[in-house]
Structures are given as C-alpha cells and as structure tokens.
Amino acid sequence: MKISLSKTKKSGGYTLLFAVLVTSLVLSIGISILNISKKEFLLATSAKDSSIAFYAADSGVECAAYGDQRYGTFSTTTDQRSTLRCGSGMSPILSPTQGPAGVYKFNFSVKFGKEGESCSNITVTKEYVNDSLFTTIESRGYNMGWNSGNSSCDVQGPKKVERGLRLSY
C-alpha cells in the first residue's frame, strides 16, 4: 500500500497563508479602530477645553458688567479696590490707566475654579466722546493658566485654549 503525501503538503501551505492573511486583516481593522478612537478622544478633549475657555470669558464679561452697572466699579476718578468680587472672591486692584484724551483702561485677571484651572484677563475701556460715555469690556478666557504668584492668567501650556468676548454699551 502506497500513501501519497503530495496533497497534504500542498494544502498545508495554503492554510498557513490563509491564517496569515486573516490575522493581518483583523490586525489592520483593530489598528484603524484604535486610531479613530484616539482622534475622537482628542476632539472631545479639545471641545471641552474650548467650552471651559468660553465660559471663563463669559464669566469675566458678566462680572465686569455687573460691577460697572450695579456699583460703578470702573470709575475714572477713584481707585475701587474692594467693590469688585467675582470668580475666586478676590478683589483686583482697579486703577485706571489713562490713554489718549478721555480714554481710561482697567486691566485685571480673575480665576475660576481650582488652582491652575480656568481664568480670564479682562480689559474695561471707558471713553468720553462729546460728553457721552462709551464702555467696552473685553474678556479673554482660558481653560488653564492661573499664576497665583502674580495673580494673573499668564501661565503658558501646549493645551491652553483662548476664547474672547466683547461687550460694548
């Protein structure tokens, strides 16, 4: 009796080739899904950081507008250190910087949340034109960057996001 091994040898090579192809296909699908998941995670994180920065800017505008409308915080004649409280409850020093004739600027920073988290740089400009007062509040909100050493929002970072708002009246 003769046994032929030729059929067995030929089919064994095709099985190994088929197994390698299937494994490669499954691996490439897995890597593609992982890559898509990573991009989705980065996009979601970016959207979250952008929202935090926007809300910090909005809070800065609201704080300055409330202080100005309710208490006259941004007076061009006096130093109003204690009348503006927002964010962390701090009272920034609000001394006006006089620019061109009839233009006064107030610059200050406010932090929101925990150390190193969201903050806002706010500029309030008062301008007298023909005996009329015009006020502009600009707020630049950041998702991170509070510097407790100098009470400002100036710490840089690769994931720092800025959003700005302007209110004029």
How many other C-beta atoms can be found within 10 angstroms of the C-beta atom of residue 108?
Answer: 22
Q: From its phi and psi, is residue 94 left (phi > 0), alpha (psi between -120 and 50) or beta?
A: beta
Within 8 A by CB and 6+ apart from 114, the residues are none
Helices then strands, each counted (H, E), the chain: 1, 5
How many other C-beta atoms can be found within 10 angstroms of the C-beta atom of residue 78?
Answer: 11
Which carries the bigger pLDDT value, residue 66 or residue 9?
Answer: 66
Is pTM beyond 0.85? Reply is no
Chain centroid, CA 46 distance in Å: 8
Instruction: Report the pLDDT averaged over residues 136-151.
Output: 90
Q: Hey, which residues does 105 pair with through a beta bridge?
A: 97, 125
Contact between 167 and 61 under an 8 Å Cβ cutoff? The reply is yes
The pLDDT of residue 79 is: 56
- Tell me the pLDDT band of 2, cut-offs 50, 70 and 90: low
How many other C-beta atoms can be found within 10 angstroms of the C-beta atom of residue 43?
Answer: 10
Instruction: Report the pLDDT averaged over residues 24-30.
Output: 97
